[in-house]
Amino acid sequence: MMSKFIDKLYQAQAQNNSLVCVGLDPNRGNINALGLELFSWLVKIVDAVADNICAFKPQIAHFSAISAENDLKNIIAYIHEKYPNIPVILDAKRGDIGTTAQQYAIEAFEKYQADAVTVNPYLGHDSLQPFLDYADKGVIALCKTSNAGSSEFQNLTLENGKTLYEQVAENAAHKWNGNKNLLLVVGATYPQELAKIRSIVGDMPLLIPGIGAQGGDVTATLKAGLNSNPKQSGLIISSSRGIIYAGKYQDDFADKAKEACLALNRQINDFWSI
């Protein structure tokens, strides 16, 4: 049995023939240069790409840093109303002890009404459980992140001979996923590690950041990360800056975002298509 979130995700992938997830990472300077209010800019980006993606991923820090929490709530509500088939992943990377984790889960799923949230698993299972208890929601745990410094800790070898990221994948697949609503974050910048994680977790869906501005390779990602199900890829391929700022300060920024989204979608579907 799949969770409601994962089922919604796969339906969106099939409907739009897309594995692309568009990150919403607003930058006040870029938006002000266009003479737009933040919410107007967000709506134009969302409308431009919605028919060619499988998920939206607003990044909470980009909103909270500019006191735009209401805009975050409003754009998620807008997506739910106008594009109810497309899930919203709140990129928050929350991780704390149980009582605080409960509040973070309320923030993500009740305050912002996200369909899924990213979390940090390095405090252990009890820090994840308040999120996992929302059985109809997705919980996406960091495993092997896309940043250059991720190997500093995530690739350390444990006493049992496994790397730390491999142990996270093992726990995610075999200990933590009682509600079948757990996914992992694996960066496109590390295709070898991605292949290893896929071998550990089976068909579990993976959120793949690092395509676009961070330099992740699409073909290498697909070769390493596709699961065994020909109709359910097991991948959510995320791009933020490479799509939403494709037009930079130009008046046709929304058209440029759509073009960049379509180009990434075509690149993926040249290798694999539903």
Helix (H) or strand (E) holding 185: strand 182-186
Taking phi over 0 as left and psi of -120 to 50 as alpha, with beta for the rest, 21 belongs to beta
Model pLDDT for residues 57-98, shown as the tens digit of each residue: 999 999 999 999 999 999 999 999 999 999 999 999 999 998
What would the mean pLDDT of 138-159 be, rounded to a whole number? 94
**Nearest alpha-carbon partner for 189 in 237, 229, 227:** 237
pLDDT at 85: 97
C-alpha distances out from residue 126 to 102, 123, 132, 252, Å:
10, 8, 10, 47
Mean pLDDT (the chain, rounded):
93
> Of 4, 73, 93, 111, which one is the catalytic site residue?
93
Residue pointed to by tokens 């444990």 = 158
Size of the chain, expressed as the number of residues it contains: 274
Neighbours of 178 (CB within 10 A): 11
Q: Is 248 a catalytic residue?
A: no
Model pLDDT for residues 110-133, shown as the tens digit of each residue: 999 999 999 999 999 999 999 999
Model pLDDT for residues 172-231, shown as the tens digit of each residue: 999 999 999 999 999 999 999 999 999 999 999 999 998 865 667 898 999 999 988 767
Q: Which fold has domain 4-271?
A: TIM Barrel (3.20.20)
Instruction: Please say whether the beta carbons of 249 and 34 come within 8 A.
Output: yes
Could you tell me which residues are beta bridge partners of residue 59? 91
> With bands split at pLDDT 50, 70 and 90, how would you rate the model's confidence at 28?
confident
